[in-house]
Structure 1
Amino acid sequence: MIRVVVVDDEALIRSGFSLILNAADDIDVAAAVTGGQALDAVAAHTPDLVLLDIRMPDVDGLALLRHLRQLPHPPVVAMLTTFDSDEYIAQALRSGAAGYLLKDTDPDDLAPLVRSLADGAVVLAPQIVPAVVEGYLRHHHGLESAAARTAALGAALTGREREVLLLLARGLTNTEIGRSLHLSVGGVKEHVSALLAKLAVNNRVQAALWAQRAGLLDTEGAQ
């Protein structure tokens, strides 16, 4: 079972997400709480995934995200929000968010998205991808050319790490990457850890966006 904690200041959102996700056979919403109750809920239920509202009246969602990511065994955290401002997107990704979902996500998509997040995939609402790519990566890497970044990647990564990066950037989960490259899930995780260190980024989201901004996906598609 994938254990989920939903953190949102609106009771309607908490109950709606709980109802939808608990209808799936492999997902259990262990708790649906306000921001002020979040840390106790995570400590009590040790969830695999936290769906976290980014703006709440009682707690700063970004501060809570940073706290969760510093736990000894941190859960995957995806931001849940109605806001798509560049500022909030960038801050959430820099703080270790593994995904960014809008609250009006189609209910039929929620369970598949939760499964993808739990399996290590990068999940971003399509509406915010352009802002993520242009805003976050411009802040993180400056305005250096795509050609320069591609050359730096080629020098830093092994062939296998590059293959893993390309599949990761296309949104594949660890299981799917392993199946495609004939690797164990553990082997995929080791390659991901290595390429994160070489790219000097904090998580899979940042690595995927780095590859996209560097033009690696375009280059691969042209081959």
Structure 2
Amino acid sequence: MRSSPTLLIMDNDRLALRLLSVSLRRLLPGYTVLAPVDTGAEAIAVCTSHHCPDLLLADVSMSDINGLVVCRTIRKESWKTSILMMTSFSVAEYAAEAVVSGAQGIIHKDNPKTIAAALLQIKETGICSDRFLNAHDSFLRLKSGKNKDLSPREIEIVDRWSRGKSMSDIAEELSISQTTVRTHLEHAASKLEVTNNRALISAWMHLNR
């Protein structure tokens, strides 16, 4: 008999964690929702064990380890658990870093129905949107070291630049100077071993195919 898919939820808000667990048990009747965890360390331990869940729903904001660091740590070790990040803040703010951290999607945490739909989509297709890679491909990319350890700010800026935003647009959105934007682009280009901004966009798009 085929076992039901398993889901682990990670959130440091214990009340929200209980409510979300109850909601997802109701919305995903064919799934086994495991006992939730309220620390990143616990999530890493569970998801890198022999009994890892099929899916991890992970909050970005955690008190012990940032959720994106949790995601990256798990993904460097294993491809067996697909990861959906969630946040109560702007999804756009964290999307680029979620991609390079090895997640299969990111979603706002305010609506259990949309979260359930995203989890079902990841289980069926491997990803939440075309911007992301499936768990196995994300694992291979992180193991190969292709991301060259860009900083979160560099990731944020290069991602916007690759989507056609100007330096002035990026500076305004992030409340920094255009000089700072230019400096981050130069540092990212150096890490990705390219010599100009056009090549930087090509390198970034290649990493995130």
TM-score category (smaller protein): 0.5 to 0.7
> How do residues 1-223 of structure 1 correspond to structure 2 at under 5 angstroms?
1-23=4-26, 24-34=28-38, 35-42=40-47, 43=49, 45-84=51-90, 86-105=92-111, 107-123=112-128, 137-139=159-161, 141=162, 143=164, 200-202=206-208, 207=209
Structure 2: runs of 5 or more not aligned: 130-155, 166-204
User: Does the C-alpha gap of structure 1 residues 21 and 86 become closer, same or farther in structure 2, counting only changes over 3 Å?
Assistant: closer
What is the alpha-carbon distance in structure 2 between the residues aligned to residue 113 and residue 88 of structure 1? 17
Q: Which runs of 5+ in 1 are unaligned?
A: 125-133, 145-198, 208-223
From the superposition, tell whether residues 73 and 85 of structure 1 become closer, same or farther in structure 2 (CA, over 3 Å). closer
SS in 2 for 1:50: strand
Q: Distance in 2 between matches of 1:61 and 1:96?
A: 12
Sequence identity of aligned pairs in percent? 28
Distance 1:73 1:93, change over 3 A: closer
Higher helix share: 1
Q: 1:72 to 1:94 in 2, by over 3 A?
A: closer
Q: Please report how far the alpha carbon of residue 60 of structure 1 lies from its aligned counterpart in structure 2 after TM superposition.
A: 1.5
Alignment-derived partner of residue 217 in structure 1 = none
Query: 2:185 maps to which residue?
Result: none
Amino acid at match of 1:116: Q
**Matched length:** 138
**SS at structure 1 position matched to 2:36:** strand
Q: 1:98 to 1:73 in 2, by over 3 A?
A: closer
Q: CA RMSD in A?
A: 2.6
For 2:102 and 2:56, the matched residues in 1 are separated by: 12
TM-score (norm 2): 0.57
Change over 3 Å in CA distance of 1:108–1:114 after alignment to 2: same
The 3 A distance-change label for structure 1 pair 74 and 200 is: farther
Counterpart amino acid of 1:77?
Answer: I
Q: CA 1:73–1:143 in structure 2 vs 1: closer, same or farther (change >3 Å)?
A: closer
Alpha-carbon shift at residue 116 of structure 1 (Å): 0.7
